[in-house]
Structure 1
Amino acid sequence: MPTQILKEQLAISIRMLERANHIDFNGHMSTRVPETDFILINSAAVSRSTITADDVIMIDLEGNVIEGNGRPPNELPLHTQIYKRRKDVQSIAHTHPRWSTMFTIANIPLRPVVMQGAVLGEIPVFPKSQSISQQEIAEDLAEKLAGHHIILLKAHGAVVTGTTIEEAFVRSVFLEENAYRQYMASQLEYAHSLEDEDIQKTKNVVWQPNNIRKIWDYHFSKL
């Protein structure tokens, strides 16, 4: 996919994340540039609600700016350390979701309670609540993420991955939807998980390209 199209997709995804209250004045998203060791990421200073492709910069995996104006976010090591370890990851979103983060504050595990939750897999929690702006902390985070699509950061936020920008965005949507439903059900009495035998069947039905695109298009229509 041409780099310019990736920049436009990334900017659109960040605007949709902001509109959905997954990020605010902070939060960031990145994607690999195919067949290179470069990544695209939003500049640190740009407003997440008005970002355009011009606000996306290209950097290498050491954090050097290759193309574009501005500097990368302070938590750049979060992205670079994951990309170095996970060849399957093509896009990363670092969000500050309200409902999912609340579960880390309460020390209550998130469980698949609705169909969308079936696609999330096991969700580990990173115990350090500080900014992931130091190399050593980012390395620990990347190691704990191994084998998972999502990791929650205690009292901080979430890291959501995908093989495309669309996948990372939709996983963020599903993460928050599942967390919200789990919380609301728990107010009635207890939020029951999906049965183990149903999780894989449900995942196979829900996690299809047409469904992923449908969620993307729905949120895009609201911009």
Structure 2
Amino acid sequence: MKDHSIDALKRQLADAIRMMERIKHIDFNGHFSVRIPRTEFILINSAAASRGSLTEEDIITIDLQGRIIEGDGRPPNEYPLHTQIYKQRKDVQAIAHTHPQWSTLFTIAKIPLRPVIIQGATLGRIPVFPKSRSISDFDVADELAEKLGEHSIVLLKAHGAVIVGDNIMETFVRSVFLEENAYRQYMASQLGYAHSLEEEEIRGMAPFLWQPNNIQKVWDYHHCILHRNPSN
């Protein structure tokens, strides 16, 4: 009997990946995964699928050793990034590896990314993984998972970002907030010094913004645009 809950997860994951491609957080590379509840399996986009047009048929199931359980194709080369984080972080239910333009600039320039807008208050401290290389073997992926630690985001030097969350929607929205904050910090720095939010502002705004209704609102905005555009 077909598991409709897994079908729904596949559809949501496919939508999230196409939404990320549309807003240029990923391009011909990048990947997004989600745990299948109460199993040791994950859903992830296949390596060959075009990120801008993939569907649930392009979502495959693998185990935490990277073995294909269901679906056509193979997982992305950097699948260890996902499996090793899931092994170390039982609380993490979804992981995105993105290649964002503005956030990555800060790792290239070696300038700390700081919370400068209210959405940035939700991001917490963001460590930087210092090795500029593909996360395609288990040893490097273990190092990355350790650098992520208990945080929600880790930037990869001159490469991209890894973002985790309780679900697909939360992970997507965290990516949106990360890149918007980075863009505003960069643009403000062209005028002078880009000032961070005060600690009191961060403490006040983070729990207010990071609520299910606000997360849903951001998701719905991007999801609506995706589905009203016939080319998507």
SS of aligned partner of 1:81? helix
Which residue in 2 is equivalent to 1:200? 203
Where in structure 2 are there 5+ consecutive unaligned residues?
227-232
Is it true that 1:9 corresponds to 2:12 in the alignment? yes
Q: Give the aligned length.
A: 223
Distance 2:185 2:201 in 1: 17
Is it true that 1:146 corresponds to 2:144 in the alignment? no
Give the share of equivalent positions with the same residue, in percent: 69
The partner residue of 1:56 within 42, 55, 59 is 59
Which residue in 1 is equivalent to 2:97? 94
Once the two structures are superposed, what CA deviation does each residue of 1:7-30 show, in whole Å capped at 9, x if it has no partner?
000000000000000000000000
Which residue in 2 is equivalent to 1:170? 173
Is it true that 1:68 corresponds to 2:45 in the alignment? no
Q: TM-score, normalised by structure 1?
A: 0.99
Distance 2:124 2:142 in 1: 22
Q: CA deviation at 1:176?
A: 0.2
Report runs of 4+ in structure 1 exceeding 4 Å deviation. none
SS of aligned partner of 2:154? strand
Q: How does 1:115-134 map to 2 (within 5 A)?
A: 115-134=118-137
Is it true that 1:183 corresponds to 2:186 in the alignment? yes
Once superposed, what is the RMSD of the aligned Cα atoms? Answer: 0.7
Where in structure 1 are there 5+ consecutive unaligned residues?
none
Distance 2:7 2:113 in 1: 37
Distance 1:203 1:53 in 2: 33
Which residue in 2 is equivalent to 1:108? 111
Letter in 1 for 2:213: N
Letter in 2 for 1:7: K
Q: CA deviation at 1:201?
A: 1.0
SS of aligned partner of 2:37? coil
Once the two structures are superposed, what CA deviation does each residue of 1:46-69 show, in whole Å capped at 9, x if it has no partner?
000001011000000000100110
Which residue in 1 is equivalent to 2:21? 18
